[in-house]
């Protein structure tokens, strides 16, 4: 029974990844830029990010690639306001999920200009940059292919962010934010206990404060 449920969940994830990936790939460059500008404005205005900047705390971001929505302008704004920015890195020796616990993903303080393409072509900090523990991070941004109002997130299938947040569960960042296009919000995102939830989702149309007991996405639109 368990294997049948796992197979069914895997198929739901596969189908949703395919559908969302196709939608993203069909966005024109101009539409992506406009969506990123609107979403970044909402992201930079979040009280949690403003508070992190005010006290010089650390915000963990990510570098968008291909057709991902880009949080770059929001990260630059909070950096100018005083926040320290960290970036994820996948060690070059990564051989898959660790069998003894822990996580493969690492976070390092670095300037965006110092990032270089890593194992998957994603801009990353150098391994020699200062590394941070989960407890050092006040706000963490995560990309995704789909999100729902309960905070469930569909990632890209490699499990890096879920693994890191699960390993850091007792000292996870104070606030975890999913960042995506508004069409990536779905009524119910396929997930199980290994899929880490986010506390909030920011899109080009709204800010969703996630509720684990929400039966559906009840988020209202913030601004236009």
pLDDT recorded at residue 166 = 79
The burial of 156, by beta-carbon neighbours within 10 Å (0-12 exposed, 13-18 middle, 19 or more buried), is given as middle
Band the pLDDT of 135: cuts 50, 70, 90: confident
Please give the average per-residue pLDDT across 118-128, as a whole number: 90
Q: Which residues contact 110 (CB under 8 A, 6 or more apart)?
A: 85, 86, 87, 125, 126, 129
Q: What is the pLDDT of residues 141-195, one digit of tens each?
A: 999 999 999 999 999 888 888 888 877 666 677 899 999 999 999 999 999 888 8
What is the domain partition of the chain in residue ranges? 2-209
Q: Provide the mean pLDDT of the chain.
A: 87
Please give the average per-residue pLDDT across 106-130, as a whole number: 92
Q: What is the pLDDT of residues 1-43, one digit of tens each?
A: 456 558 899 999 999 999 999 999 999 999 999 999 999 999 9
Quote the radius of gyration of the chain (alpha carbons, Å). Answer: 17
Tokens of 210: 């996630």
Domain 2-209: CATH superfamily is: NagB/RpiA/CoA transferase-like (3.40.50.10420)
Percent with pLDDT over 90 in the chain? 68
Higher pLDDT, 189 or 219: 189
Q: What is the pLDDT of residues 44-92, one digit of tens each?
A: 999 999 999 999 999 999 999 989 999 999 999 999 999 999 999 988 7
């Amino acid at each position: 029974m368990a294997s049948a449920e796992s197979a069914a969940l895997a198929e739901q994830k596969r189908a949703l990844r395919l559908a969302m990936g196709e939608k993203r790939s069909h966005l024109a460059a101009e539409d992506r830029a406009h969506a990123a500008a609107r979403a970044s404005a909402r992201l930079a205005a979040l009280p949690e990010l403003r508070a992190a900047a005010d006290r010089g705390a650390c915000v963990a971001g990510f570098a968008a690639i291909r057709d991902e929505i880009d949080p770059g302008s929001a990260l630059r704004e909070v950096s100018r306001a005083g926040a320290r920015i960290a970036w994820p890195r996948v060690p070059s020796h990564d051989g898959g999920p660790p069998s003894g616990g822990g996580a493969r993903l690492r976070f390092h303080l670095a300037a965006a200009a110092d990032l270089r393409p890593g194992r998957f072509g994603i801009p990353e900090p150098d391994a020699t940059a200062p590394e941070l523990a989960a407890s050092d991070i006040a706000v963490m941004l995560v990309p995704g292919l789909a999100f729902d109002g309960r905070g469930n997130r569909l990632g890209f299938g490699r499990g890096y962010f879920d693994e890191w947040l699960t390993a850091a569960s007792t000292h996870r960042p104070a606030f975890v934010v999913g960042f995506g296009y508004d069409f990536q919000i779905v009524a119910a995102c396929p997930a199980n206990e290994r899929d880490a939830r986010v506390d909030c989702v920011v899109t080009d149309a709204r800010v969703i404060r996630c509720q684990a007991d929400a039966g559906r996405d009840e988020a209202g639109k913030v601004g236009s």
